Amino acid sequence: MTAEELQEGYVFLLDKPLDWTSFQAVNKMKYKLKREFNLPKKFKIGHAGTLDPRATGLLIVCCGKFTKKIPEIQDAPKEYWTEIKIGVQTESYDTEKPEILHQDIAHVTEQQVKETLEKFVGEIEQKPPVYSAIKIDGQRAYNLARAGEEVEMKSRKTTIFYIKDINIEFPLVSFTVGCSKGTYIRSLAHDIGQELGVGAYLTQLRRTKIGDYTIENATPDFLENEYKFESL
C-alpha cells in the first residue's frame, strides 16, 4: 500500500473494541496512517455508520476519494448479534447506566419470548434512546440527558428484516437481528421488555454485517500494526 493508493481510496474493515467511540477509532486510524505513510494534513477519512461505545464489531472506515462512498455504505442493511437481559431496565437501555426497576420473570416462558420477538419483525415505530447522538435544538441528546434535562425523542419508522438464532437462558436472551439504517438495537431491547411486561435492556451488541461487508473480514487489532482492506 502506498500514500497515493490511500488517497485514491480504500475502505478499511475494523473490529471496534468495547468502550471506544467510532470517532476515537477513526482518529486513531488517521493518526497512524498519516504517520506511517507521510500523508498530507488534509487527508480525508471517515466512518460509514456509528457504533455506540458499548458495542463492538464491524466499523467501516473510508479514506481518500472513497469517503464519497460513505452515504451509500451507511444506507446498507445492518446485522447485529444481540444479547438482552429481561426483568430489569436501565435509563440508557444498555450497560452505561445502572440497573433499575427489577421485576419477577418467573412467569415468562421461552415461547412467550419467541412470540414477542416475532412481533417486531417488519416495519415498526421506534423511539431512539435519550442517551443517543441525535441532535435536539443543536445539542446531542445524550448531553442533555446527562445534564439532567428532560428529553423528548420523536418516533421514527424502521424495519427489522429478521430475528434468528434465538438462544434463551433466563434472564438473558440472545439473537441475531437484521435491520435497516437508523435502527437502534438499544430501543429494540427496551421495547421487547415493554412488550413482555417485565422490562429489558441491552447487555451486549456486536455488529456483524453492513451490506456485503462482514465481521469475518475485519481487523481485530487495528490499534496495533496490521490492517485489512478492500478496494471498492
- At 39 the pLDDT is 86
Q: Count of CB atoms within 10 A of residue 205's CB?
A: 23
Residues 43/33, Cβ–Cβ less than 8 Å: yes
pLDDT band at 222 (very low <50, low <70, confident <90, very high): low
Contacts of 175 (CB under 8 A, 6+ apart): 81, 82, 117, 163, 164, 165, 166, 167
DSSP state of 229: E
Please state the pTM of the whole predicted model: 0.88
Share of the chain above pLDDT 90, in %: 57
Residue type, 197: G
60: three-class secondary structure by DSSP: strand
Q: How far apart are CA 29 and CA 185, in angstroms?
A: 26
For the purposes of burial, counting CB atoms within 10 Å of the CB of 76, is it exposed (0-12), middle (13-18) or buried (19 or more)? middle
Residues 182/134, Cβ–Cβ less than 8 Å: no
- At 50 the pLDDT is 87
pLDDT digits (tens, 9 = 90+) for 95-139: 989 999 999 999 999 999 999 999 999 999 998 887 766 777 777
Quote the mean pLDDT of the chain: 88
Beta strand 10-16 pairing with 56-63? antiparallel
Question: Higher-confidence residue: 38 or 184?
Answer: 184
Residue type, 193: G
172: three-class secondary structure by DSSP: strand
Whether pLDDT at 229 is above 50? no
By C-alpha distance, which of 222, 227, 232 is closest to 22? 222
- Catalogue the active-site residues: 52
By C-alpha distance, which of 155, 183, 166 is closest to 77? 183
By C-alpha distance, which of 32, 30, 27, 26 is closest to 47? 26
CA quadruple 103, 104, 110, 116: dihedral positive or negative? negative
**Among the ranges given (45-54, 142-151, 187-196), the one the predictor scored with the smallest mean pLDDT:** 142-151
Residues 189/163, Cβ–Cβ less than 8 Å: no
CA quadruple 85, 88, 93, 95: dihedral positive or negative? negative
227: three-class secondary structure by DSSP: coil
- At 214 the pLDDT is 94
